[in-house]
Amino acid sequence: MALQSVTVILISGMSGSGKSELSSALRHRLAGSAILHLDGYYLPLTHLSWEERARTNFDHPDSLDWPLMREHLAELKAGRAIEVPVYNFAQHDREPYTQRLEAGQFVIAEGLLALSDGALRELADLMVYVDTPPEECLRRRVARDVAERGRTAESVVEQWEKTVWPMAREYILPSRRWAQLSVSGEQALEETSELVIRELEMVIS
């Protein structure tokens, strides 16, 4: 049975800005909430060799499956469950299985380009941008990718300089203008999540 009313929160920001952490903090504070991680929607690259996959610009909008992303967020907004794709970042390819995500009273959709697409913005009740200095984003990205994605620090820095930072300047930073609320990714999560909830209360009241 579909839920009668679903509130969608879009959260965007640079890689390493703290989007996922803020989303998790909000999920704990908002009863009946679900998180949709948009970085699971990279296009499958099974047809490419591993070397070709590794050279893909994953920070360009063309690397994402926008039709499926829009369809899934619309389904969640309508209160229906979806089958979320699972992306293997070590192999640069989509897994053959999916994960079921039930719609909640609140759906928190977070991703680098969450605010860059008009169709996603149309589905949102609240749009939030997590603003964190690039230097801190890079430090966090190196730590994460080395620990969780089998990368070397050198390769992470090289990718940052070649694609991550240039694409952020071209696509992510300009999307801040769509945000109804901008929060600091260096501020305590208790404080930033409280700011989001206050803004949310005003939006849905």
CATH number at residue 149: 3.40.50.300
**pLDDT of res. 38:** 96
Question: SS3 helix, strand, coil % of the chain, rounded to 5?
Answer: 50, 20, 30
Which residue(s) pair with 130 in the sheet?
Answer: 13, 183
**pLDDT of res. 2:** 58
Read off the pLDDT of residues 29-70 as tens digits, 9 standing for 90 and up. Answer: 999 999 999 999 999 888 888 788 878 888 999 999 999 999
Q: Which domain holds residue 16?
A: 7-199
Q: Residue 20 has which token pair?
A: 């996922």
Residue 158: count of CB within 10 angstroms of its CB: 12
**pLDDT of res. 3:** 60
**pLDDT of res. 149:** 80
| pTM score | 0.92
d(CA 45, CA 111): 20
> Amino acid letter at 64?
L
148 φ/ψ angles, rounded to the nearest 5 degrees = -110, -20
Asked whether the beta carbons of 7 and 107 are under 8 A apart, the reply is yes
Q: Could you tell me if residue 1 is inside a domain?
A: no
Query: Maximum distance among all alpha carbons in the chain?
Result: 51
Read off the pLDDT of residues 125-159 as tens digits, 9 standing for 90 and up. Answer: 999 999 999 999 999 999 998 988 878 999 999 99
Q: Could you tell me if residue 126 is inside a domain?
A: yes
Q: Could you tell me if residue 46 is inside a domain?
A: yes
Q: Could you tell me if residue 146 is inside a domain?
A: yes
Split into its structural domains, the chain has a count of 1
Q: Could you tell me if residue 52 is inside a domain?
A: yes
**pLDDT of res. 91:** 82
Q: Which residue has the higher pLDDT, 50 or 179?
A: 179
Residue 21 has pLDDT above 90, yes or no: yes
Percentage of residues of the chain with pLDDT beyond 70 = 98
Asked whether the beta carbons of 41 and 98 are under 8 A apart, the reply is no
Q: Could you tell me if residue 98 is inside a domain?
A: yes
Q: Could you tell me if residue 205 is inside a domain?
A: no
